[in-house]
């Protein structure tokens, strides 16, 4: 599988660069999507999928062998 970051996802993730531990956790979670694109702890409805990583939410789309990261947001605990 291939992972692609949309321009919107890159911009949304850049806002949180001060949280290096959070960004590392997001990187690990995104890399793990190549092995298991629909993890059990994610939310899957329609074409959009959400994965919670600590205080962040990753929104992504799976199309065949391509995973497109659409957005990264901070969520309240």
Average pLDDT over residues 5-30: 92
Question: Read out DSSP for 5-21?
Answer: E-HHHHHHHHTTTT-HH
How many CB atoms are located within 10 Å of the residue 36 CB? 10
pTM, entire model: 0.89
Residue 27 has a pLDDT of 94
The three-state secondary structure class of 42 is: coil
* Whether pLDDT at 13 is above 90: no
| Tens digit of each residue's pLDDT (9 = 90 or more) over 18-62 | 999 999 999 999 999 999 999 999 999 889 999 999 999 999 999
CATH of domain 2-74: 3.30.2310.20
**pLDDT given for residue 77 in this prediction:** 63
Three-class secondary structure of residue 64 per DSSP: coil
pLDDT level of residue 12 (50, 70, 90 thresholds): confident
* Higher pLDDT among residues 17 and 76, named by residue: 17
């Amino acid at each position: 599988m291939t992972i692609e970051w949309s321009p919107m996802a890159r911009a949304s993730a850049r806002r949180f660069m001060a949280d290096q531990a959070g960004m590392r956790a997001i990187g690990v979670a995104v890399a793990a999507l190549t092995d298991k694109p629909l993890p059990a702890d994610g939310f899957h409805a329609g074409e959009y999928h959400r994965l919670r990583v600590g205080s962040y939410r990753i929104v992504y789309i799976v199309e065949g062998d391509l995973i497109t990261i659409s957005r990264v947001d901070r969520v309240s605990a």
